[in-house]
Amino acid sequence: MRRFMNRIVARTALGVPLVLALGLGGCETLNSVKKTFVGGDSTANLGQPGFVEGFIGGTVADEPRAALVGREVLSGGGSAADAVVAMGFALAVTYPSHAGLGGGGVCIAYATDKNSSNGGTPEAVSFVSLAPRGANGGDRPTALPLMARGLFQLHARYGLLPFDGLVARAETLARSGVPTSRAFAKDLALVAGPLLADPRARAVFARGGTPLTEGQPMVQPELAGTLAQIRISGVGDLYQGVMAQRLVDASRQIGGPLTTDDLRGALPGMAPAIVVAYKNDKVAFPPPPADGGLAAAAAFAALVRDPSDLNAASARSLAAAARYRAVGGNGQALAEATDLPPGALPSLPASTTFGALDRQGNAVICAATMGNLFGTGRMLPGFGFLLAASPTSLPPPLLSVGLAWSPREHAFHAAVGGSGQAGAPLAVAAQLMSVLNTGKPTQVPDPGRSNTFACTGYLPGSERSCGFSTDPRGSGLAAAGQ
């Protein structure tokens, strides 16, 4: 069992200072900020690290540098959504085995609202990787690349700082290079043979034909160029502009062709969450098509009845997901059902989770995937990123996250992201139950892993009760600070 960390958790083997000075790379002015932020000092501008004095909130991620990028955004006065957007783009640079521009994901976002009768209601932002509408032939069927549009949707709804500055942080990482993290080096070692058979992937992820190892620099000039174009021209250019046509042409070269209609129709969505009541709180989970949220909700509902029966909770989570994949249905109803037949799922792909909490109590927790470790394993020519594997060729992962809040207190309580293939839903449910009941995180059952942050005294209202924790069996980082 690990206690929450209220400061930066220095459990990373990057071999570099924990606090990075990343340039924003792009013009940011106060005139472009959509809201007025109160609480900054007089020595730093909004958007610059150090703007916020005192408690800034914190971040969690499976890859350390992405967590630090998010922490810098919070330090600069950004919202939780701003931090998560910057982290999502950063993960596309630092952790492309699990997250990237070619992939997708889902988030639960909560905005504190004391003027609302229910204290703000969490929403799901869904950008799950979907198969193209038409035939996606070739030897490496690809999913639609939804990450950039999903992060833009999250920002449009909940962001504070200019979007281009958040993208610029990842652009700087790709152009200047980053030391290969322990988390990413492990993934490279697992699939080095087939991945490095692609010459473009080999140029980025190997030196002298040997896969990068922990600490070696990884420079991605083509990806930096793509991120720069997104920063300058906007996300829309990737889906219905000049970049879109280039992407279509490039996809034909790597065996998973897309069309301009595919890209134009690749849209994220906002949806009401699946909600399970527990004591004085409510707990929100993403609805289908992110059926990992449904599975986590079903597992949590089982634990509400019997907190000690993890086996029953796990079985119920898989039964709910299997039922939805077989016949569809309403997510809320399936999560609450107690008479589902037993269900099983095939071997599932990997996913990763990341999230942020800001000083005002706004929170976002996300799960992302490439549909397979390194997606299709082929780099898009001229773009510098991998496309995700199509869900028609591999079963989609269970993207599992959950967030607890108090309508009565108008405040955030806890958020958990779970990974670990079929163990992800139970990881979310078991960790939420532990934090809500004991105020402390626990080690979730294998193969599950969890990233967690919570304010046991709720936020706003009790900053000192907030803590951030990553799974001790992984290589991630919880980054918080005063």
* Percent of the chain topping pLDDT 90: 84
**Which of the four pLDDT bands, split at 50, 70 and 90, describes residue 464?**
very high
What local confidence, expressed as pLDDT, does residue 13 receive? 31
Joined tokens for residue 169: 């942080």
24/480: higher pLDDT: 480
Ranges of each domain in the chain: 53-272+345-481
**Which of the four pLDDT bands, split at 50, 70 and 90, describes residue 119?**
low
Mean pLDDT value across residues 175-189: 98
What local confidence, expressed as pLDDT, does residue 199 receive? 97
Mean pLDDT value across residues 64-70: 98
SS3 content of the chain, % helix, strand, coil (to 5): 35, 20, 45
**Which of the four pLDDT bands, split at 50, 70 and 90, describes residue 43?**
low
What local confidence, expressed as pLDDT, does residue 5 receive? 52
234 burial level (CB within 10 Å; 0-12, 13-18, 19+): middle
Residue with tokens 């906007």: 234
Cβ-Cβ contacts under 8 Å for 447 (sequence gap 6 or more):
420, 421, 422, 423
d(CA 16, CA 19): 9
- pTM for the model: 0.91
Residue 402 confidence (pLDDT) above 80:
yes
pLDDT tens-digit readout, 445-454: 999 999 999 9
Cβ-Cβ contacts under 8 Å for 50 (sequence gap 6 or more):
41, 43, 44, 75, 76
Q: Which long-range contacts (CB under 8 A, 24 or more apart) does 132-135 make?
A: 132/258, 132/259, 132/262, 132/390, 133/261, 133/262, 133/265, 134/259, 134/261, 134/262
What DSSP element (H or E) covers 453?
strand 449-459
d(CA 178, CA 173): 6
* Percent of the chain topping pLDDT 70: 89
What local confidence, expressed as pLDDT, does residue 255 receive? 84
Residue with tokens 């639960």: 108
- With CA atoms as reference, report the closest residue to 423 among 393, 446, 441: 446
Mean confidence (pLDDT) of the chain: 90
pLDDT tens-digit readout, 124-135: 999 998 899 865
Cβ-contact 100, 379 below 8 angstroms? no
What local confidence, expressed as pLDDT, does residue 42 receive? 44
Residue 432 confidence (pLDDT) above 50:
yes
pLDDT tens-digit readout, 224-240: 999 999 999 999 999 99
**Which of the four pLDDT bands, split at 50, 70 and 90, describes residue 216?**
very high
Residue 320 confidence (pLDDT) above 90:
yes
Residue 20 confidence (pLDDT) above 80:
no
For 27-36, 41-50, 318-327, which range has the lowest pLDDT when averaged over its residues? 27-36
174/139: higher pLDDT: 174
d(CA 202, CA 463): 46
DSSP summary character for residue 333 = H
Joined tokens for residue 298: 């079903």
Total Cβ atoms within 10 A of residue 6 = 18
Residue 405: strand, helix, or coil: strand
Residue 470 confidence (pLDDT) above 50:
yes
Instruction: Give the strands of the sheet with 57-61, arranged side by side.
Output: 269-272, 123-127, 104-110, 363-369, 352-358, 57-61, 477-481
Mean pLDDT value across residues 111-120: 69
Residue with tokens 């309580």: 413
Residue with tokens 């473009």: 200
Residue 365 confidence (pLDDT) above 60:
yes
Joined tokens for residue 434: 């532990």
What local confidence, expressed as pLDDT, does residue 40 receive? 45
Tell whether omega for the bond before 221 is within 30 degrees of 0, i.e. cis.
no
